[in-house]
Amino acid sequence: MIYFKLPFDEKLYTINEDLSKNSVTFYAFDNSEQLNFKGDIIEVKPEDFEKIRIPYQSLPKQADAVIAETKDEYIQKLNKVIAVIKNNQLPKLVLSRRKIIEGFNTIDLKESFKNLCSAYPNAFRYIFIHEGNSWMGAFSEVLGKFSTITHEFETMSLAGTLPVSESWSEKEIEEQKPVSKYIRDILKKYAPADEIEESPTSEHISGNIKHLRTDFKLKLNTEEIVDQLIRELHPTPAVCGIPKDFCRENIEKFEKFPRELYAGYIKVEIKDTVQYFVNLRCAKLYQDSVHLFVGGGITAQSNPEKEWQETELKSEAVLKNLIYS
């Protein structure tokens, strides 16, 4: 079972039972896992969705006890990561953690999903229960979008995070620059520099937080080339760091839990477009707990206390929309 909405599109979609093709695919951060939803994408009318039950009992049970990091543990780890960044002169390394909510009786899955959809109209919003997994999320970073008619490919550099009310500092500006450079350098392998359109950097608001964003556009010949480009872009510095391989090794070293589908990507094939979304503001759902995945880009200038508060702020994206008792 899966339900989802596309950015700036209030139509609700699901997938029928036709097993002849993949329409939606979730890829794990480290590519160790891939969940395929096979069938045709179909629209669900609001009045029909109101009649549908998504029973809480259909959620998987948590098999093993999982203890999240405390604030002190995470800050100690951040200090070690900042030392690695300084010693190796890294532009950025992305560190994440799980925030675990327990001690409730039930979750109203349908109403929670509806809340998430209302809160983030510019995001890809989804909920699914599939092969013993259940996840829900909403995030607006587009890893790629390809038109099978015009052959135009779009992507974006999205980095730097602040509460909406705060002003940009040098830390966020410097954090976003290498993300844009990373994307720009990869795109140059697929088109001459003068054929790549790049927008000015702008502010991108997502609920209670904002990011810095730069858009890129170019033309590609086939969907196969698009898949190849996506594999090269992922994981971007926004979810991993620079240089990619070194940062990925340190992520495995420092993070307490595997990321699973968090910071991976979602491929959606609908109508005349193929879209790829980064799976960031998301949670893994169990009958007895909710695991919220959150992280942030760490630089030599990072303040550990402020980085902790940033992850707390990001966890609210899903948490504040959950209805549980």
Q: What is the pLDDT of residues 88-101, one digit of tens each?
A: 999 899 999 999 99
All residue ranges of the chain with pLDDT < 70 are none
Cβ atoms 252, 289 nearer than 8 A: no
Q: How much is the pLDDT for 312?
A: 95
Does residue 60 have a cis peptide bond before it, meaning omega lies within 30 degrees of 0? no
Q: How much is the pLDDT for 87?
A: 98
Question: The tokens of 65 are what?
Answer: 């006890």
CATH H-level, domain 2-70+94-144+260-324: superfamily: Anthranilate synthase (3.60.120.10)
Cβ atoms 176, 159 nearer than 8 A: yes
Cβ atoms 47, 62 nearer than 8 A: no
Question: What are the residue ranges spanned by the domains of the chain?
Answer: 2-70+94-144+260-324
Q: Is the dihedral of CA 156, 160, 164, 166 positive or negative?
A: negative
Taking the model in full, what pTM does it have?
0.93
Q: How much is the pLDDT for 75?
A: 97
Q: How much is the pLDDT for 159?
A: 84
Q: Is the dihedral of CA 319, 284, 113, 61 positive or negative?
A: negative
Q: How much is the pLDDT for 224?
A: 85
Cβ atoms 284, 133 nearer than 8 A: yes
